[in-house]
Amino acid sequence: PVPPDAPWLVGLNPEQLTAVTSLDGPLLVLSGAGTGKTKVLTARLAQLLASRRAQPWQCLAVTFTNRAAREMRERVAALVGPAANDLWLGTFHSLCLKILRRHPEAVGLVPDFTILDADDQLRLLKKVMEDERIDPKTTPPQALMGAIQRWKDQALTPDKVGAAQAGDLAGGRAVHLYRLYQQRLKSLNACDFGDLLLHVLTLFLSDEAVLRSWQDRFRYLLVDEYQDTNVAQYLWLRLLARRHHNICCVGDDDQSIYSWRGAEIGNILRFESDFPGAKIVRLERNYRSTPHILSAASGLIAHNGGRLGKTLRPGLEHDPERVEKIRTRAVWDGEAEARMVVETIETYQRQGEPLASMAILVRVGFQTREFEERLIATGVPYRVIGGPRFYERAEIRDALAYLRLVQSPADGLAFERIVNTPKRGLGEAALRDVAVYAREHDLPLLEASRRLVETDLLKPRPRKALAAFVADVARWRSLLGSMPQDELTATILDESGYVAMWKADKAADAPGRVDNLKELVAAIAEYESLGAFLEHVALVMENDAKAEGDRVVVMTLHGAKGLEFDSVFLPGWEEEIFPHLRALEESGDKGLEEERRLAYVGLTRARRRVLISFAANRRVYNQWKTQLPSRFLAELPEADVEREADRGLFAGGAPTDYSAQHLAEPRSTWSYPARRSSSSSAAASAPATRSVSAFKPGARVTHDRFGDGTVLAVEGHTLHVAFDGAGTRTLIDSYVTAL
């Protein structure tokens, strides 16, 4: 028996206590953000172990990310000791992998099978298509890959995909290709991510004894973020729970934000009928946020239809004097937004708030770029969670490799990275020939290629492809200096087929990559030359990537699920960014409602303060666009919001009234003074950046990290500075201030 004053039981409210101590039978905890669902799961694990109802390895707990699993394990360990190490606690993928490692042969694999990454998967699928003479032009491999992934999310093996589901993709042969792809994976002793779950399901359904042994083992099942499980995950849970029926799922229908990955909100609605006798517990007290934040979030989500409906009440005492309203702030453009947000972060920091308790939560990945630049420039440490930093993303590195090659034709690493990306039919053999020729003649790879294509050392096909590539680079290079660098970048990305490659990609993250490339072009426009930009990037990348210590968090809203911060910054609340254009283009309200749930997730991450911002203008690709405030701003209850705008931002007065009527009006009635015409290409008249540094040799400057120093030389915006205590360094002038 567990004493009632066990540390994990102390302070729970009566509903939470019920959820933690009702250990037997199916249980669904359905409640809003910050009501202690995750806390309940953690306490329940402690309760299970302390009561000796089950051995740690008989408890299976599923979290949404590996990080969440790690945290939960640490908490349980702090409560009941090292027994926590033996819990089966992890994501669906990691748990399935663990099971599959024990029975690989049952699904045709050998121990030590490998898991393919996205690149390898695609390469393999392309081979299958080639063998079957499927034209990649009419059937983009990425589209087929996307279909296969969706089938796997739905637990559909090749023989279970119906004709209707397959449609006429790949000339009606999609299922056949899916089957061949799976066979090929097996012959390589490999599987992809989707297979982890699918194989375990196949195993369970084909081997009664094995299923039985796992069902017997897992006496207790616990699932966090249940609203975002897909069909395959749901079937897996249901199978495992069939023996002991002790399954506890916690979730919030208002936070279902992964339907694009196959999540089925219906799994929540089905719980009672699937698990007869299920107990439902509702938690209503929110222990995370201030009353204003709660009420704003509730007011916003009330605009969604078809909700289960929940009450949220503040669970903490709040000093009315100190509770801040949510702030919304209109700014001129993305740069002003980043400046304003980072200034606010610094203000909060001066007031004693740790950086790690502040988060910038963006809707789409490309938005992080401007914040990262500003954080670097001001020396505020930050970390990007759930994704690489902007300039480290694969598509950005590829694009930079193109630019580097055009700028410095001898850059061999850049050449290698993109000579066959997108695929140009240059096989390994041809590239080896280039490398050998280059070594023998002591030439850079590009120059070696140029000469090699004049010989007949290469086979005709690769020779033609390589000649075309060499000619492309030469042509782009001839445009250096005459064409504005952002236009040149757009041209290169376009003519090389690189953007087209991602546009054809049907993977869920592909549109985000196209957006990142656009953002890159916008970033380049701000420098006076391509060279200056590439130098800037080199310096930014050099900035230490270690993610320790007190750092501001930058991440997407999708990644922030389940987390909490004292202060939350929500930038880019503009129509077509948030709600996102792709959601608005969907027919019906489904897409829009999911965006609204995402906004609800964002707001409810905050304990104390929320600052929402939106810009009047954004540069998208190389064009300025006039932006409309997000409709979600108008949906926030007036009583909980303080609306501000940068001074002088709006010509016609009355700037902060974002009533719904405004949104219904056509764009032209918005009275933002246009800095530049939004219709003309902005590239030609490069924006108002200084063309040369204001610093002169001999000037005294100071830098956040390196201290004071003297400028030795100036090249564009690059400074060579002899620091008094940190040696001579090369940096971009915006990192230092004059003394």
Q: By CB under 6 A, tell whether 577 contacts ligand ATP.
A: no
Contact between 490 and 621 under an 8 Å Cβ cutoff? The reply is yes
Closest CA to 569 of 731, 400, 342: 342
Assess whether 518 carries a catalytic annotation. Answer: no
Other Cβ atoms less than 10 A from the Cβ of 494: the count is 11
Task: Round to whole Å and give the CA distance between 73 and 67.
Answer: 10
Task: Round to whole Å and give the CA distance between 410 and 255.
Answer: 51
Task: Round to whole Å and give the CA distance between 423 and 501.
Answer: 9
Q: By CB under 6 A, tell whether 44 contacts ligand ATP.
A: no
# of chain residues touching Mg ion (CB under 5 A): 3
Task: Round to whole Å and give the CA distance between 107 and 196.
Answer: 11
Q: Which stretch binds ligand ATP (CB under 6 A): 11-19, 266-274, 332-340, 439-447?
A: 11-19
Given 224, 264, 398, 640, the catalytic residue: 224
Q: Binder to ligand ATP among 9, 19, 28, 38 (CB under 6 A)?
A: 38
Q: By CB under 6 A, tell whether 407 contacts ligand ATP.
A: no
Partner from ligand ATP, Mg ion, none contacting 16, C-beta within 5 to 8 A by type = ligand ATP
Q: Which stretch binds ligand ATP (CB under 6 A): 27-35, 269-277, 619-627, 677-685?
A: 27-35
Q: Which residue is nearest to Mg ion (CB)?
A: 38
Q: By CB under 5 A, tell whether 562 contacts Mg ion.
A: yes
Given 225, 333, 370, 433, the catalytic residue: 225
Residues 595-654 that bind ligand ATP (CB under 6 A): 604
User: CB under 8 Å to 602, separation ≥6 — which residues?
Assistant: 361, 557, 560, 568, 570
The CB-of-379 to ligand ATP minimum distance in angstroms stands at 30
Assess whether 464 carries a catalytic annotation. Answer: no
Partner from ligand ATP, Mg ion, none contacting 58, C-beta within 5 to 8 A by type = none
Q: By CB under 5 A, tell whether 34 contacts Mg ion.
A: no
Closest CA to 381 of 352, 357, 356, 344: 356
**Tokens coding 411:** 């850059």
Task: Round to whole Å and give the CA distance between 429 and 714.
Answer: 45
Other Cβ atoms less than 10 A from the Cβ of 225: the count is 24
Q: By CB under 6 A, tell whether 11 contacts ligand ATP.
A: yes
> Is residue 32 a known part of a binding site?
yes
What separation in angstroms does the CA of 122 have from each of 74, 142, 418, 507? 37, 7, 17, 10
- Please name the residue ranges forming H helices in 32-110: 37-50, 66-80, 92-100
Of the two residues 34 and 559, which places its CB atom closer to ligand ATP in the complex? 34
Q: By CB under 6 A, tell whether 36 contacts ligand ATP.
A: yes
Half-sphere exposure of 361 (CA within 13 A, CB side): 29
User: CB under 8 Å to 390, separation ≥6 — which residues?
Assistant: 365, 366, 368, 369, 372, 384, 396, 516, 519
User: CB under 8 Å to 315, separation ≥6 — which residues?
Assistant: 13, 35, 285, 286, 287
Q: By CB under 5 A, tell whether 36 contacts Mg ion.
A: no
Write out 548-599 in H/E/C secondary structure.
CCCCEEEEECHHHCCCCEEEEEECCCECEECCEHHHHHCCCCHHHHHHHHHH
Partner from Mg ion, ligand ATP, none contacting 13, C-beta within 5 to 8 A by type = ligand ATP
Q: By CB under 6 A, tell whether 288 contacts ligand ATP.
A: yes
Q: By CB under 6 A, tell whether 314 contacts ligand ATP.
A: no
Assess whether 225 carries a catalytic annotation. Answer: yes
Closest CA to 187 of 118, 108, 90: 108
Of the two residues 280 and 468, which places its CB atom closer to Mg ion in the complex? 280
Of the two residues 37 and 643, which places its CB atom closer to Mg ion in the complex? 37
Q: By CB under 6 A, tell whether 579 contacts ligand ATP.
A: no
# of chain residues touching ligand ATP (CB under 6 A): 18
Q: Binder to ligand ATP among 2, 6, 13, 435 (CB under 6 A)?
A: 13
Q: Binder to Mg ion among 38, 65, 420, 489 (CB under 5 A)?
A: 38
Q: By CB under 5 A, tell whether 91 contacts Mg ion.
A: no
Of the two residues 38 and 267, which places its CB atom closer to Mg ion in the complex? 38
Q: Binder to ligand ATP among 9, 20, 27, 35 (CB under 6 A)?
A: 35
The CB-of-626 to Mg ion minimum distance in angstroms stands at 39
Partner from ligand ATP, Mg ion, none contacting 670, C-beta within 5 to 8 A by type = none
Q: By CB under 6 A, tell whether 63 contacts ligand ATP.
A: no
Given 16, 38, 328, 485, the catalytic residue: 38
> Is residue 31 a known part of a binding site?
yes
Identify how many contiguous H helices and E strands the chain contains and give both numbers. 28, 23
Given 605, 607, 609, 619, the catalytic residue: 605
Task: Round to whole Å and give the CA distance between 370 and 619.
Answer: 11
Contact between 568 and 602 under an 8 Å Cβ cutoff? The reply is yes
What's 230's DSSP letter? B
Closest CA to 715 of 532, 551, 538: 532
Assess whether 290 carries a catalytic annotation. Answer: no
The CB-of-633 to ligand ATP minimum distance in angstroms stands at 22
Partner from Mg ion, ligand ATP, none contacting 368, C-beta within 5 to 8 A by type = none
The CB-of-357 to Mg ion minimum distance in angstroms stands at 17
Task: Round to whole Å and give the CA distance between 262 and 508.
Answer: 11
Task: Round to whole Å and give the CA distance between 475 and 481.
Answer: 12
Of the two residues 42 and 47, which places its CB atom closer to Mg ion in the complex? 42
Cis ω on the peptide bond leading into residue 579 (within 30° of 0)? yes
For 362, the 3-state DSSP assignment is: strand
Pattern 524-563, ligand ATP, x by CB under 6 A: --------------------------------------x-
> Is residue 6 a known part of a binding site?
no
Q: By CB under 6 A, tell whether 34 contacts ligand ATP.
A: yes
Q: Binder to ligand ATP among 188, 282, 287, 528 (CB under 6 A)?
A: 287
Q: Binder to ligand ATP among 37, 551, 618, 631 (CB under 6 A)?
A: 37
Q: Can you spell out the DSSP letters for 470-534?
A: HHHHHHHHHHBTTB-HHHHHHHHHHHTTHHHHHHH--STTHHHHHHHHHHHHHHHTTSSSHHHHH
Residues 248-267 that bind ligand ATP (CB under 6 A): 252, 255
Given 142, 255, 344, 421, the catalytic residue: 255
Q: Which stretch binds ligand ATP (CB under 6 A): 30-38, 258-266, 381-389, 437-445?
A: 30-38
Beta bridge partners of 623: 620
Pairing relationship of beta strands 382-384 and 358-362 according to DSSP bridges: unpaired
Task: Round to whole Å and give the CA distance between 314 and 292.
Answer: 10
The CB-of-297 to ligand ATP minimum distance in angstroms stands at 11
Partner from Mg ion, ligand ATP, none contacting 56, C-beta within 5 to 8 A by type = none
162 burial class (0-12, 13-18, 19+ CB within 10 angstroms)?
exposed
Assess whether 65 carries a catalytic annotation. Answer: no
Given 16, 37, 153, 398, the catalytic residue: 37
Pattern 217-256, Mg ion, x by CB under 5 A: ----------------------------------------
**Tokens coding 449:** 């290629």
Assess whether 105 carries a catalytic annotation. Answer: no
> Is residue 36 a known part of a binding site?
yes
Half-sphere exposure of 120 (CA within 13 A, CB side): 11
Of the two residues 562 and 591, which places its CB atom closer to Mg ion in the complex? 562
Partner from ligand ATP, Mg ion, none contacting 252, C-beta within 5 to 8 A by type = ligand ATP
**Tokens coding 414:** 């850049």
Of the two residues 288 and 717, which places its CB atom closer to ligand ATP in the complex? 288
Binding residues for ATP: 31-38
User: Which positions are catalytic?
Assistant: 37-38, 224-225, 255, 605
- Which positions touch ligand ATP (CB under 6 A)? 11-13, 16, 33-39, 252, 255, 287-288, 562, 564, 604
- Which positions touch Mg ion (CB under 5 A)? 37-38, 562
